[in-house]
Amino acid sequence: MPSTDPRLPEQSLHRLLRNLPDRPAPRTLQHRVLAELERRAAEPSWRRSYASWPAWLRGAFVLGALLAAAVAAAGPARVLGEMALRIDSLSFARTVVRGMEGSARDIVAAIPATWLYAAAAAVAASYAILAGLGAAAYRAFAHSRHHLLSNA
Amino acid sequence: MKDAPSVQNQPAGLSQEADFATFMQNYQDMVFTCAARILADDAQAEDISQEVFVKAHAHFEMLSVSPSAGGWLKTVTTRLCLNHLQRYRRRWRFFSEFSRDDAGDDEPGVEFAAPDVFFDGMDGVDRREAVERALARLPENQRVPLVLFHFEDLSYEEIASRLGVSLSKVKTDIFRARSALARALAGLAGEPNPA
């Protein structure tokens, strides 16, 4: 018989839910975990996550990343130019990099601005159309199927 | 919280792998159940359970002697499940969440009778399965806060913080979840017993 105590719904439901026993885990779970642990243990160190790398390797990686960032910030051609003053063999690399930088700049400058805007608009429109079609397809098939299953 | 099983009492001489296998046997049902109730998807729950135990293996030295290993496992399971749902939700929000957030505000309240009334004539297994099924059919925005509140003992404030939603939304969603669950269970009471 329904109760008039406003706290009873919450209390009854809480009791009902808390009395539910645990569901048995799939029999495959333990095998999967042990297999995954074995797979990870067999992985070479360079394929493991950064957190599991040896300390010296993590330090070297950070130094390398900082160096690469510094070179990118200063400009590769400028850095190579500075180095070429000290090391003769790098003058050829400096020339190549400068040539590539100049070519890229010339190509971009030669393209009319209208074309660039039109290309950007085409990319944006394609993206919007693709997302719209995806949304429509999802709502037409997956979402309605989920609702049917939920209401079954 | 279920913290009773411990590997401390295992016979000496077992290798760490055997200890870990025993540890898993003790806790796998709890971890899987916790994940399955939050996610309402057994395959995803198994994936999350696997991830939890792989993490547990990395901390096994500490967990094997900790009296709160169960709590640690539940916390990690809950966190991984919520991360999983949030990743999934972000990915699909554009596709699936066109409906208004306040839809259903005018749902009528429901009178909630004592659980025994719902399950009159059902045995324990049918009863458990019926509740689990009703729980799994709740929409995610109702099921997750309900599970966190009733099974994981989180407060409304903690749930709001974990889910990144307002306190009032948590309260509303839990209220609606209880109503929906009560309706589902009341519907079961009206159905003939399948057994």
The ipTM value here is 0.73
DSSP A134: H
- Give the CA distances from residue B158 to residues A152, B38, B40, in Å, rounded to whole numbers and listed in that order: 33, 16, 21
Sign, CA torsion B73/B79/B81/B84: negative
CA distance, residue A110 to nearest chain B CA (Å) = 39
Chain B residues inside the 8 Å CB shell of A17:
131, 135, 150-151
- The contact set of B with A (CB < 8 A) is 2, 17, 21, 24-25, 28-33, 36, 42, 46, 49-50, 53-54, 57, 92, 94-96, 98, 111-115, 117, 128, 131-132, 135, 137, 139, 150-151, 178, 181-182
DSSP notation for A6-36: TTHHHHHHHHHHHTPPPPPPPTHHHHHHHHH
Top pLDDT among B153 and B14 is at B153
Residue B36 CA, chain-centre distance (Å), reads 6
Q: What is the pLDDT of residues A118-151, one digit of tens each?
A: 999 999 999 999 999 988 888 777 766 655 554 4
Average pLDDT over residues B51-59: 94
Q: Say how far apart CA A64 and CA A45 lie, in whole Å.
A: 18
Yes or no, beta carbons of B95 and A26 under 8 Å apart: no
**Contact between residue B139 and residue B80 where contact means Cβ atoms under 8 Å apart:** no
Confidence of residue B90 (pLDDT cuts 50, 70, 90): low
Compute the radius of gyration of chain B from its Cα atoms: 19
**A100: pLDDT strictly greater than 60:** yes
Q: Where are the alpha helices (DSSP H) in chain B?
A: 16-39, 42-58, 60-63, 69-96, 115-118, 124-136, 140-150, 156-163, 167-190
Yes or no, beta carbons of B128 and A9 under 8 Å apart: no
Residue A129, token pair as written in the block: 């159309």
Average pLDDT over residues B70-90: 89
**Contact between residue B39 and residue B85 where contact means Cβ atoms under 8 Å apart:** yes
Chain B residues inside the 8 Å CB shell of A5:
none
CA distance, residue A62 to nearest chain B CA (Å) = 24
| End-to-end C-alpha distance for chain B, whole angstroms | 33
- Confidence (pLDDT) at A136: 86
Chain B residues inside the 8 Å CB shell of A2:
111-113
Yes or no, beta carbons of A139 and B92 under 8 Å apart: no
**Contact between residue A80 and residue A94 where contact means Cβ atoms under 8 Å apart:** yes
- Confidence (pLDDT) at A109: 87
Q: Say how far apart CA A121 and CA B77 lie, in whole Å.
A: 44
Confidence of residue B33 (pLDDT cuts 50, 70, 90): very high
Smallest Cβ–Cβ distance between B181 and the set A13, A26, A34 belongs to A13
Chain B residues inside the 8 Å CB shell of A3:
111-114
Percentage of chain B exceeding pLDDT 70: 70
- Give the CA distances from residue A105 to residues A31, A86, A119, in Å, rounded to whole numbers and listed in that order: 57, 28, 18
**B139: pLDDT strictly greater than 70:** yes
Sign, CA torsion B183/B186/B192/B194: positive
Percentage of chain B exceeding pLDDT 90: 47
Q: Say how far apart CA B38 and CA B77 lie, in whole Å.
A: 10
Query: Which one of A10, A19, A20 makes the best mutation probe of the B interface by having the most chain B beta carbons within 10 Å?
Result: A20
Q: Say how far apart CA B5 and CA B3 lie, in whole Å.
A: 6
Compute the radius of gyration of chain A from its Cα atoms: 31
Average pLDDT over residues A54-80: 85
- Among A80, A76, A85, residue whose Cα is nearest residue A104: A76
Three-state DSSP at B86 gives: helix
Residue A88, token pair as written in the block: 């003769």
